[in-house]
Amino acid sequence: MRYFACLLLIITLAISCKKEDNSPNIGNFQADSIFINNVFVPNGSTINGVDFENISIRILFSSKIDTTKFSKSKFTISGGIDTAYNHKFDNSAQTLYISPNQNLNPLSQYRLLFNQGSNLGGINTSTYSSAFRTRIDSLPKFPIIPDEDLLTLLQKQTFKYFWDYAHPISGLARERYGSGDVVTSGGSGFGLMAILVGIERNFITRVEGFERLNTIINFLKNPETDRFHGVFPHWINGTTGKVYPFSSRDNGGDLVETALLFQGLLTVKEYFKNGSQPEQGMCNSIQKLWEEVEWSWHQKNNENVLYWHWSPNYEWDMNLQIRGWNESLIVYVLAASSPTFPISNEVYHNGWAHNGAFPMVNNKSFYNIQLPLGFDYGGPLFFAHYSFLGIDPRNLSDQYANYWNQNFAHTQINRAHCIANPRGYEGYSIDCWGLSASDIQNGYTASSPTNDKGVIAPTAALSSFPYTPNESMQALRFFYYTIGDKIWGDYGFNDSFNLTTLWFADSYLAIDQGPIICMIENHRTGFLWDTFMANEDVQNGLEALGFSYQ
């Protein structure tokens, strides 16, 4: 009897201690839709402009789930968040709310990953993976200073590329940051002019500037430094002076790069021509180099057009005529200015200008702005910069255009395109504009309204200061104060950035840094314009081509 009583007690206790399992039978489910700050985010997509200070993630499931069996390890947020978030479910057991425990970083990318497998009492049948990018932090990243001080700071910082980072043997400008022995002819021409600005702005002394310039010119005139009929190659080995091929058949003279180099050399000559005996000796060396350039050789059998390249191995195989409108007006001006191998004005009119035919004269309107010259929408903005570091466009005109009006219109069209932003890129605005040749992700391109990759190059707006001083200052403030923590570095602004993909170049290019210093100086004082235009050969060349410039 006692045995049965004990057995009954055990059974009773077991029944009373047994917990009833009321868990729902979930089965298969999936994340039906996900919202970030109430914006729907399809699987595999990326959204931009998310507020980094207030993030709310809402996940709607295809059916009810078991809210007690949520596995955080299978729902993560990359970028340092991982599982450091709070979560809760609504009463329907079909919606999950997630909020990170901390503010996220501005201009950063994060990824939501909801893995397949056992979770929430059932089986999640599909992986969900999408990304979001946080918005700009509009707070200033550096102390606010007067605009004139900011311009000086920009010039001084960018100047370091041509001073501190110059090639240690030749003194010439390295083609880009990290290019080692590869120096660039055209970019070095910009660098020569930047050194003159450095002297004028007291970044360096006149003696220091002369010594560096003399080193450069001694290297250029050295018989070991390659020239082809007096024409320098695009790239040169800064130690040996030998040509560094720009491409497989481009291993000889480059007339456009040579013109950009001599734009700088002739400016140096004008600046120092009445100086000390050593300075005048340097000027004599520049004059000799100048007189040895066989501009007319590049007419290729006396054609009425100039050709870009000639190679001792491939001769004229590159077969690229220099025709307008692009960055190469300086080529024809200097070719007509040569005291030894000049071209006639027929070469200018028939070759460069097409006698006014397209793509020289345009006169159509874009964004309600009439464009005198060039391709539709104007092309990349370096067209308005490279030839005009020295050539003064303020009163320059010929039968085809007033060149101040041309460059002003080109710049305004470029800016108007960025404001209109027809392709919907992130960040384009009245503050953030400027399409020109620059690095892009995994490459390089000449960006323009008709070749818009979503990449802004600071050189575009900043080198346009003479044409759009207020608009360029607006862009400078944005570049420096708003996103300067991303793009401001040892040598000024990095080459380019893309706010849609949050890509920021870590590169500097001589041909982009140089115009910033020089064109800002032309905006502030007209110094380089006044110096270059004082050269008598240049004046003769402009007059020979039918330009008025005073």
Tens digit of each residue's pLDDT (9 = 90 or more) over 70-101 = 999 999 999 999 999 999 999 999 999 999 99
Q: How many domains are contained in the chain?
A: 3
Q: Are residues 113 and 37 in the same domain?
A: yes
**Residue that terminates a domain, selected from 76, 109, 134:** 134
- Predicted confidence at residue 8, as pLDDT, reads 47
Q: Are residues 113 and 254 in the same domain?
A: no
Residues of the chain with pLDDT under 50: 1, 3-19
Tokens 């101040």 belong to 404
Q: Are residues 308 and 174 in the same domain?
A: yes
Strands 46-50 and 128-134: parallel
Confirm if 29 and 61 have CB atoms less than 8 A apart: yes
Select from 349, 374, 345, 372 the least CA-distant residue to 359: 374
The tokens of 214 are what? 């003399």
- Predicted confidence at residue 359, as pLDDT, reads 87
In a domain, 102, yes or no: yes
End-to-end CA distance of the chain: 128
116, β-bridge pairs: none
Q: Are residues 346 and 305 in the same domain?
A: yes
Q: Are residues 514 and 495 in the same domain?
A: yes
How far is 112 from 82, CA to CA, in rounded Å?
9
443, β-bridge pairs: 440
How far is 46 from 28, CA to CA, in rounded Å?
26
In a domain, 11, yes or no: no
In a domain, 12, yes or no: no
Q: Are residues 201 and 158 in the same domain?
A: yes
Q: Are residues 158 and 95 in the same domain?
A: no
Q: Are residues 283 and 336 in the same domain?
A: yes
Tokens 């058949």 belong to 249
In a domain, 536, yes or no: no
**Residue that terminates a domain, selected from 83, 107, 134:** 134
Q: Are residues 126 and 152 in the same domain?
A: no
- Residue 368, domain CATH: 1.50.10.140
How many alpha carbons lie under 13 Å from residue 270 in its C-beta half-sphere?
23
Burial-class residue 367 by CB neighbours within 10 Å (0-12, 13-18, 19+): middle
Confirm if 518 and 531 have CB atoms less than 8 A apart: no
**Residue that terminates a domain, selected from 304, 334, 357:** 357
Q: How many CB atoms lie within 10 A of CB 113?
A: 15
Q: Are residues 243 and 206 in the same domain?
A: yes
Where b means 16+ CB within 10 Å and e means fewer, 13-47 reads eeeeeeeeeeeeebeebbbeebebeeeebeeeeeb
Q: Domain residues for 75?
A: 27-134
Angle between helices 329-337 and 255-272 (to 10 degrees): 60
- Predicted confidence at residue 11, as pLDDT, reads 43
How far is 462 from 176, CA to CA, in rounded Å?
19
- Predicted confidence at residue 24, as pLDDT, reads 65
pTM of the full predicted structure? 0.93
Q: Are residues 107 and 182 in the same domain?
A: no
Q: Are residues 193 and 76 in the same domain?
A: no
